[in-house]
Amino acid sequence: MDVRSAIDFYDRHPISADIIRAKLGAARGHLDDVAPAELLPHDQDHYGGLAANDALAAAAQLKAGDRVADFCAGLGGPARYYAARYGVDVTGIELTPARVKGANELTRLVGLQDRVRVLEGDVMAVPLEDAGVDAVVSQEAFLHVPDKARVLREAHRILKSGGRLAFTDWIAHRPLSEADATLMWQGMAATGLVDIAAYRGLLAQCGFEVVSVEDLTADWAVILKERLAMYLTLRGEAEAARTASGHDAFYESYVRFVALVAEGSLGGARFAGVKMD
């Protein structure tokens, strides 16, 4: 079955709160008195793991006491890490109801609910006040958003003067064929992909001074091969546990995605910017 929206995609994603709890329980024998660090090997659903979190935190200049918004927060893995590691307060925004519920359950499991919460909402209309946060972060998520300028304007709106935006996202180094673009949508809900120059232009247009841009394509080429193998393993585990295991189009598109990144048609980049008054 093809995806119809990002919600449809994540409702059937092979990584779920149920899978995370099951793997954590298998690793420690029970789910009592779980420390945040014990969840980290299981809940980081993004490219590059904890090292990528730290790189993004550096780009956003996170420091203790900061109020942070995590756009497209998913199951909340990075948000919990930022709170525990950097002493920040994080509000995640996530579109998929099941992932909002799962994120908050996992956060309560490790006792971080006073510093981390994930709200159900659309990053094109964020349910947060103007000029209320010090930083906005996101990882590999805007690829699902059809109007990236609206997301960047929302980040600008909720940031304080001089606030920082840091995110990673897919990049189209070359235009995709119609067949590949269709497959990326049907399997992974990817839409509206742009190149690095276009993203720079959008950031400036939406009121940001671009501080840094890092092309991550070469790193992702290695990481994504490893993630594909992980997803195939997870599919078998999820099927055995009778939880969501992903849909056929996801696995077909992921194989093609790995190939497109390896050949340099698709890739990724990390952007950092500062809100201009």
**pLDDT band (50, 70, 90) for residue 242:** low
Chain centroid offset of residue 200 CA? 20
Q: Where are the alpha helices (DSSP H) in 211-277?
A: 217-241, 248-263
Predicted pLDDT at 3: 45
- Give the tokens for residue 92: 């995640």
Predicted pLDDT at 244: 59
Which residue, 209, 195, 112, 194, is CA-closest to 159? 209
Share of the chain above pLDDT 90, in %: 83
For the chain, the domains span 6-275
Angle between helices 148-158 and 196-205 (to 10 degrees): 40
Query: Per-residue pLDDT tens for 191-239?
Result: 999 999 999 999 999 999 999 999 999 999 999 999 999 888 877 666 6
Task: Please tell me the distance from the alpha carbon of residue 213 to that of residue 252, in angstroms, as a whole number.
Answer: 30
* pTM for this model (two decimals): 0.92
Query: Per-residue pLDDT tens for 84-111?
Result: 999 999 999 999 999 999 999 999 999 9
Please give the CATH superfamily to which domain 6-275 belongs.
Answer: Vaccinia Virus protein VP39 (3.40.50.150)
Residue whose structure tokens are 């994080």: 90
Percent helix, percent strand, percent coil in the chain, to nearest 5: 50, 20, 30
Q: Where are the alpha helices (DSSP H) in 92-216?
A: 97-109, 148-158, 178-188, 196-205
